[in-house]
Amino acid sequence: MKTFNDKEVVVTGGAGFIGSNLCRTLLEQGAKVTAYDNLYSGKMHFIKDLIDKGLNFVQEDIRDPVALEKATKNCEVIFHLAAQTSVPFSMENPQEDCEINVVGTVNVLEAAKKAGARVLFASSCAVYGNPEQRPTPETYPTKPIAFYGLTKLLGENYCRFYQEHYGLEIVMFRIFNVYGPDCHGAIYDFLNKLRKTPDKLEILGTGKQSRDFVYISDMVNILLKAAISPAAPGQVFNVGTGTTTSVAELGKMIIEILGLENVKISFTGGQAWEGDMDITLADNRKAVNTLQWKPQVSLKEGLKKLISSGKY
């Protein structure tokens, strides 16, 4: 059964890592999909083959409300994934970070209001800062330590306001560390370093910083479930596995899967970058209970899938 058959759907950030994977699955589900992306960080080659399969690509910016309104005019669902996602960039460029992540989100909400579309908003675990409670539930107080986390929290607050005052159906996701083919972040960094110098791996920070890694297919699955769930609007969900792995352990795991031997691992020490979180660990029980969603792919299995794909 094609759950999204003939549904008009827009994915902002549709040429990005998560967005391109989502577009692919939505097309398989029979949806009429528009990928809206300015290619700021998205890549055309992520979605090139999808255009032949019916994907409508609009190269525009979420900071352009006129273009956004035109692209979303008849849609039923907007997956709002477009964002400035770099923590270091946000600390150096707070104004641009705000323009994309806050003003851009308001533009999406305005467009959704006119179209009467449900919005799925990609927030981040960065809204928690460095929480003392781990696993961290959605009820834990938010205290971002980076502008990126702050703009995501502001985006959430705008979402709630639009839901309460205009009756929009909005679902928010505090996404932990998503990975898979064509990903970015620590896993991508380690694989590329080891490809260049298979006998050594330098890890930023102490190596003790720890992450809750969730595989891309599990990420796409929760977005699809929430898009049609009657219980989802007005809710915020953690998207994580409920397990955490230090980046030092991650490095060793990748080295083992690659079959490399005698690799010298070194650490730069201190904080990897300004605004970097110490440990991320999701309490995902709300998503499990409300959406009947459960992560299916373990970290080791996901790393093997990524490495065998060669897309890094």
Residue-range domain boundaries for the chain: 8-180+214-242+281-296
Distance of CA 187 to the CA centre of its chain: 15
Q: What is the CATH number of domain 8-180+214-242+281-296?
A: 3.40.50.720
Which active-site residues does the annotation give?
Answer: 148
**Spatial separation of the C-alpha atoms in residues 216 and 183, rounded to whole Å:** 9
pLDDT digit string, tens, across residues 7-31: 999 999 999 999 999 999 999 999 9
Query: Are 207 and 270 within 8 A, CB to CB?
Result: no
Q: Three-state DSSP class for 203?
A: strand
Q: What is the pTM of this model?
A: 0.96
Place of tokens 């059964």: 1
Locate 240 and state its tokens.
Answer: 């994580």
- What stretches in the chain show pLDDT beneath 70? 1
- What is the reported pLDDT for 2? 74
pLDDT digit string, tens, across residues 247-259: 999 999 999 999 9
- What is the reported pLDDT for 1? 59
Residue 310: which region, alpha, beta or left (left: phi > 0; alpha: psi -120 to 50)? left
- What is the reported pLDDT for 124? 98
17-28 and 44-51 helices, crossing angle to 10°: 10
